[in-house]
Structure 1
Amino acid sequence: MTSAVAGSAAGGTTGPGRGGAAGRRALLAATAGGIVESFDWTLYAVLAPYFAVQLFPHDDPVTAVLGAYLGFAVGFIVRPFGSYVMGRISDARGRRFGLMLGMALTSVTSVLVAVVPTAGVIGVGAPVLLVLLRLVQGVSMGGANSSAAAYVAETAPRRMRFVYSAISYSGVVVGNILSFGVLTVLLATLGTGGVTAGGWRIGFLVAAVLGLTALWIRRGAEESGEFTEQRASGAARTGAGRRALYRAQVRNSVAVFLTTFGVTVGYYFGTTYLPQYAHQLGVVSDTESAVSMLLPLLVLIGAMVGVGWVGDRLGALRTLRAGLGALAVGTVPLMLALAHRALPMWLVTLVYLVLIAAPLGLVNVLFAGLFPVAVRVVAMGVPSMVATGLFGGTFPLLAQALGRAGQLSLVPVWAAGAAAVSFGATFLIRLPKGRREGGGR
């Protein structure tokens, strides 16, 4: 019997949509990478209030935090570029190669972030170095999500495509759980002062160790059979052929961009900024807000898998619309209940994360299924990363600025409006001929 590693080395592939042991290994590879990438990316946001005073010199701590969040947003600026570059690599060299390259870059930059000297040592060089490393991470992660989505779409069993979609994207949620878990442990053991004084570096070292583990797992995965068949056929091998395929997908690319708008805002509000939002409202402390995230994030994973099961049976597109509609209607009332202490932080977080379960669990594989294999990663990834960079990466910065201006109540209004736009955008989606409503063959 050939092992996964041996199979990969010999050029083994997973059959298109047949699943089995190879499909499960592919799912594990995609999920493990998602854990690390999400952990590393989210960790920056949740630790920003603590390392800001060391790496972003300023007399005003609030301004220093704004600088740190600007560094968070800058990483998103290059993600569309990274989506194109890494996507072209994945579309040309294979899903497995692209996934391994991205994970290697993520692991190296995590180590380097952990050892960046403070501003007290190198002055403005500290934020400059940090921002440069975030740019590298942005390039790496720009193609990570779309490469993983294409990989899962091409290897999942046809009747479990959206369950696999939800499980693979749950790695992103697990990464969030780990990031808040690490923050909770650091605060409990070192205290706020200890984390601010340098304990935050431990989190990025943990990210590097997790990255090496995920790289080892991805090394044992096999190439997508659907990709191998497409490459053997020579489809879209020329630049003109690729450009023709891109032009034929303009409508779906616009739909992906607009749908991602509400999904990414809801995601970063619910999984990254909500503790800081609650803290600014004065309803919880730093430690309480971090702890209150853990149970809801666990529930979110179960909700995503459940939504994936529904999507496989009732259709992913209509299930997605129902989820986005509920998110648009429910966001503002939930946050008003939190602000007026009518509901506790943990319950508000729980309900909000359940509302975003449908978009998070379905969009990756749904989007991947809209585009031809030869250009799938780029055609899906670029519009989604542009939207993520414009609206997701800037969300903490926007929310922080609104809070400082005394307009914190506008934050949930923005999130609800974004969800409403995305709901409308789903009606632009046109499924490829020969595919059923859920996007499968």
Structure 2
Amino acid sequence: MDGALAARPGRAAVSAAGRRELVAGAVGGIVESFDWTIYAVLAPFFASQMFAGDDGLTKLLAAYAGFAVGFVVRPLGSYLLGRVADVRGRRFALVVSMGTICLGSLLIAALPTAATIGVAAPVLLVLLRALQGVAMGGENPSVAAYITETAPPGRRFLYSGLSYCGAFVGNVLCFAVVGALLLVMGEQGVVDGGWRIGFVVAAVFGILAFWVRSGAAESGEFEAGRRAAGPRPKVLAHARNMLAVFLMTTGTTVGVYFGTVYLPEYAAQVGVVHSVATNLEMIPGLLALIAAMAVSGLLADRFGGMRVFRVGALLLAAGTVPLMTALAQGWLPVWAVATGYLVLGVAPTTAVANVLYSEVFPVEVRVVAMGVPFTLAVALFGGTFPLLAGSLAALGGLTAVPWVAAATAVVTLLGTLLFKRG
């Protein structure tokens, strides 16, 4: 009782600090999503420059493979930077990850083509993506812990949704930049080197995020846990919830990468012309998603995070195939499909996931315990989804892509049955 009374005078200060830390967390999401989306969206344009060979489809698949490699190494980064975050602090880990991501973008922008340095071009490209992947492996779990520990009481899921909004702000900026490049330079101009501008912009955003995070405060809950005496909790003592996080992330990460990264290419594959309009048509859906994330967070604070999460997973499972069929048949335009898919299914799951996952683990092992299964699922199912979908299309199985996404959403629903809160 005394502790609760003593905490009340400082509640306004805690709320103000929570807002500052919210910004510090969200800016990383902007940089992460811009960087990873710009690679995937520009892959059809730079593949011919960075990969040798005569077959355009083979070079595009090689570029998507480079996209996937960046995700394959994320679990390693989650463990390494997660350990740093759990020992040195959340803020320190977030600053390190952002500096690494920024450096990688700058080097990719300056990378010579395969015509200049031969096989070294794709090798260096993949290595740089792997370096960024290691950094990103610790990014989201550290942000999740940071927001969970600094958000005001009763507003954790709202802050979770707002912090994750940064990821989709990055998507909006990405599609706006790509649309502008195509509008100003034309498709051939982007192929001939205009794609490098996208990575320069990513590096500039990274520098700004690095500056914001350098001035953020450390989590008070982390500091209190570090000072507390007693044995350090064992990560594997939480194996059940770690497995649940892995399963619950499976369908949500596919939903995110299908709806925000691969959808323009999928639209092109089913007959919608890949053009400036295709990229710009993604923006209304992403803006609606940002608003829906905030609403989902408010609903989760009112009715419970798991309820909102399950509703979103159910809508992903039931709605993916009908929406993509409507796109393929020409019944709905790209912007309408993107909006429906992102608002109804992606928003409710991603808005609450950060806090829902991280709050069940002790502070001392929170980033590693939440981050390793999360990034493993993202690596296996999210980062590889454009490659899988492109491969299915190449084999004549394009119609199977929405069914794969829907099946992973069913896995997510099953994962919620394993999840055990305190």
Pair in the same fold by TM > 0.5: yes
Percent sequence identity is 55
How do residues 254-269 of structure 1 correspond to structure 2 at under 5 angstroms? 254-269=243-258
Aligned to 2:221: 226
Q: Over residues 24-58 of structure 1, what are the superposed CA-to-partner deviations in whole Å (9 max), with x where a residue is unaligned? A: 11000000111011111111111111110000111
Q: Over residues 390-435 of structure 1, what are the superposed CA-to-partner deviations in whole Å (9 max), with x where a residue is unaligned? A: 1111100000011111110100000001001101111111012xxx
Residues 18, 155 of structure 1: 8 Å contact kept: no
Match of 1:69 among 46, 64, 68: 64
2:280 paired with 1:285: no
Residues 276, 289 of structure 1: 8 Å contact kept: no
2:392 paired with 1:402: yes
Change (3 A) 1:18 1:147: farther
Offset, 1:289: 1.5
2:198 paired with 1:203: yes
Residues 16, 225 of structure 1: 8 Å contact kept: no
Aligned to 2:289: 300
Aligned to 2:366: 376
Aligned to 1:274: 263
Q: Kindly report the root-mean-square deviation, in angstroms, between the aligned alpha carbons of the 2 structures.
A: 1.2
Change (3 A) 1:16 1:140: farther
Residues 265, 274 of structure 2: 8 Å contact kept: no
2:94 paired with 1:107: no
**Matches of 1:119 and 1:335 in 2, distance apart?**
36
Aligned to 2:175: 180
Q: Which runs of 5+ in 1 are unaligned?
A: 1-14, 433-441
Offset, 1:207: 0.8
| SS across alignment from 1:143 | helix
Aligned to 2:136: 141
Offset, 1:288: 2.1
Aligned to 1:215: 210
**Matches of 1:316 and 1:300 in 2, distance apart?**
18
Q: Over residues 175-200 of structure 1, what are the superposed CA-to-partner deviations in whole Å (9 max), with x where a residue is unaligned? A: 11111111001000000000000000
Aligned to 2:35: 40
Return the letter of the residue paired with 1:409.
T
The total of aligned residue pairs comes to 412
Q: Over residues 41-78 of structure 1, what are the superposed CA-to-partner deviations in whole Å (9 max), with x where a residue is unaligned? A: 11111111111000011101111100000000011111
Return the letter of the residue paired with 1:64.
K
How do residues 74-153 of structure 1 correspond to structure 2 at under 5 angstroms? 74-153=69-148
Match of 2:331 among 332, 342, 346: 342
Aligned to 2:299: 310
Residues 162, 362 of structure 1: 8 Å contact kept: yes
| SS across alignment from 1:57 | coil
Residues 164, 308 of structure 1: 8 Å contact kept: yes
**Matches of 1:17 and 1:219 in 2, distance apart?**
23
Change (3 A) 1:48 1:309: same
Return the letter of the residue paired with 2:287.
L
| SS across alignment from 2:45 | helix
| Divergent runs of 4+, >6 A | 15-18
Match of 2:341 among 352, 356, 359: 352
| SS across alignment from 1:159 | coil
Offset, 1:234: 4.0
Offset, 1:327: 1.0
Change (3 A) 1:279 1:374: same
Return the letter of the residue paired with 1:407.
G
Match of 2:354 among 364, 380, 387: 364
Offset, 1:235: 4.7
| SS across alignment from 2:154 | helix
Change (3 A) 1:234 1:127: farther
**Matches of 1:235 and 1:128 in 2, distance apart?**
47
